[in-house]
Amino acid sequence: MPTIESSIETALFSRVASLSLSPELTVSWPNQTLKTKPATYLRVSHVPNINDRPFIDSDAPHLRLGLLEIDVFVKKGSPPRAAAATEIAGKIAEHFSTDLEMVADGVVVQVAKAPDVRQAMPGETHWMVPVVIRYECFA
C-alpha cells in the first residue's frame, strides 16, 4: 500500500495531467529536466508543509497541508505573450477550483481556497507566471 505522502502527490499530479489546454503544453515534472525548453511550457512543484495533529487519539488522522505550484513559462517577446501566460495561469486556477477533491489510494486531497495567480517574473529567456494551489488532507 502506498504511503499517505505518495498518495497525496499522486492525487495532485493526476489532476495536473488531466489539464486540457489548447494547444497542449509540455509539462516539466519534479525530478525531470527538459533538454530543450519549448516556447511555452509548465513546471510542476510540490511543497508539502508541516503536519498538524488536531485530535488527541493516536490513530486519528492528521491534517496535512501543502502547496502545488504550477509555473507557466512563455518565451519572452511581445506584450501579447505576457498576457498569454496570465490567461493560461487563469485556466489552471479554474482547473483547481475551491473545495475540489482529488483521490488516490483512498486518500482525499482537497483544494483549500481559490488558487493564487501570482506576479509574473521575467527570466533570461522566458516570462513566468506562478499558480499556487493550497491543499489540505486529513489522513
CATH class of 4-138: alpha beta
Which pTM was predicted?
Answer: 0.94
Name the pLDDT band for 79 (thresholds 50, 70, 90).
Answer: low
* pLDDT tens-digit map of 29-44: 999 999 999 999 999 9
The CA distance from 101 to 110, in Å, is 4
Domain boundaries, the chain: 4-138
Alpha-carbon dihedral angle through residues 42, 43, 47, 48, given to the nearest 10 degrees:
70
Q: What 3-state DSSP class applies to 96?
A: coil
The single-letter DSSP state of residue 106 is T
Task: State yes or no: pLDDT of 78 exceeds 90.
Answer: no
